Structures are given as structure tokens and as C-alpha cells.
Amino acid sequence: MKKEFIILEDASPFYVRFTFDGIEKLVLSCKNYLSFIKFSDEPFIHFKAPENIGTSFINKLPFDEINLNGARASFFITKSGYYYRAHKDGLDHRFSLNLTVEINDDLCITNWYDEKELSKYSIDTLNGQSRECVNFSKELHNPIKSMIAKEGEFILFNTEIFHDFDNSKSNNRRIVLTLRHNDPKNWYFEDIRKIIFNR
């Protein structure tokens, strides 16, 4: 049976925002799970769910063609007033699938930047966890694409293009569930776009 997805915005090669029947139940499952977790007061938290919990979220998705890693289902929790510099996720992650679990306003902006323009920055790998532009100055650059996400959407996200996110003007926290592939270095944004949307 063909799965039906509603594309809300196709901004390839940066991202595709989409939805599907039952996404509200998945968001609620995430919120219920997080309601039992006590988080620290750090401005940005990367909270990795236990593998059985991550797998349970993945099993609720209406597509099983993508070999997602239950042990790498993580919640990114961004406190109000926080900005995160331009980076690429992981050392070899080409895409992520993000579920917007909690977004209470339209003040958190994700920006993508030109690769050549950011080539002047040295890169901090954060002990192999990411590729970060050292001393990145947002004021010196114009983004080539920007996105304001809304709660209750899925986002196919290109992590191979430098991007930042800016929650500095918001008084609310933001929570996103991010899912990764079991073989992240060999699967790209365009590969996953074709699999999900058959085009």
C-alpha cells in the first residue's frame, strides 16, 4: 500500500517539511516520555533516548525503507535565548529526520550558509561529534536559506550544508527529536528524499 505524505514545503537541497496521518500521536508519545525526564539547566541539551525507546518511536513511522538507528534517537532541547553557531552534524552524517516536538512560537530560525563563504573558518570537531565553525560571526554572513519550523511536523534535513539555529529572541524552549541512519556516511539527503517521496 502506498504511503501518503503531505509536503508542506520542499526547499531542497536544504530541507523538506512534511506531515502524515498519525503524526500527532507520535508527538504526544514523545511529550509523554519527556514528561518523566528531569533535565539540567544547560542552555542546550542533547538527550539520547534508550535504544528501546528510540526504536519504539521509529516503529511508529509510516515508512520502513530507511534503516534508522534506534540507539541514536536524540532529543535536542534548546532553552530560550540561545544561539548555536554554524556547523555540520557529526563527522559523517549526511541527513537527519527531525520531528518538531515542542515549538511555541515562530522566533527560532534555522539558517543555511554558503560552503565557500565559510571555508575561511577553522573547524572544531568536538571530539568527533560535529563540524563546527570556530569563532563564527553570524553578523558577517547572509544565509542562503532560512527556515522557521512549526510544532508537529517532520523535516528531512540536509546536515551536509553548514547551518546554525537561533532561539535568542524567543522566551520558549524548543524540542526536536532527531533520527539518524545506521549507515550515515553512505546515505545522503537526496537518497532519502527519493525513498520517502518516490521522486
pLDDT at 66: 93
Residue 76, domain member (yes or no)? yes
Residue indicated by cell numbers 520531528: 99
Residue 127 has pLDDT above 90, yes or no: no
- Strands of the chain (E only): list them: 6-11, 15-19, 44-48, 74-78, 82-89, 95-102, 109-112, 123-124, 130-133, 145-147, 154-158, 163-167, 174-179
Under a CB-based contact definition with an 8 Å cutoff, are residues 105 and 182 in contact?
A: no
Average pLDDT score over residue span 32-51? 94
- Residue 58 phi, psi dihedral angles, 5° rounding: -60, -35
Under a CB-based contact definition with an 8 Å cutoff, are residues 187 and 181 in contact?
A: yes
pLDDT at 103: 97
Output the pTM of the full model.
0.92
**Residues whose CB is less than 8 angstroms from the CB of residue 107 and which lie 6 or more positions away in sequence, other chains included:** 167, 169, 170, 172
Q: In this predicted model, what pLDDT tens digit does every residue of 56-85 receive, in sequence order?
A: 999 999 888 899 999 999 999 999 999 999
Q: Residue 126's pLDDT band (boundaries 50, 70, 90)?
A: confident
Residue 1, domain member (yes or no)? no
Residue 1 has pLDDT above 60, yes or no: no
Residue 137, domain member (yes or no)? yes
C-alpha span between 53 and 71 (Å, rounded): 9
pLDDT at 2: 46
Residue 185, domain member (yes or no)? yes
- Its domain, for residue 193, covers 6-34+42-197
Which residues sit opposite 146 in a β-bridge? 111
Average pLDDT score over residue span 89-116? 94
Q: In this predicted model, what pLDDT tens digit does every residue of 161-198 receive, in sequence order?
A: 999 999 999 999 999 999 999 999 999 999 999 999 98
Under a CB-based contact definition with an 8 Å cutoff, are residues 100 and 155 in contact?
A: yes
Task: Give me 85's grid cell.
Answer: 553557531
Supply the CATH number for residue 151's domain: 2.60.120.10
Which residues sit opposite 47 in a β-bridge? 75
Q: How many domains does the chain have?
A: 1
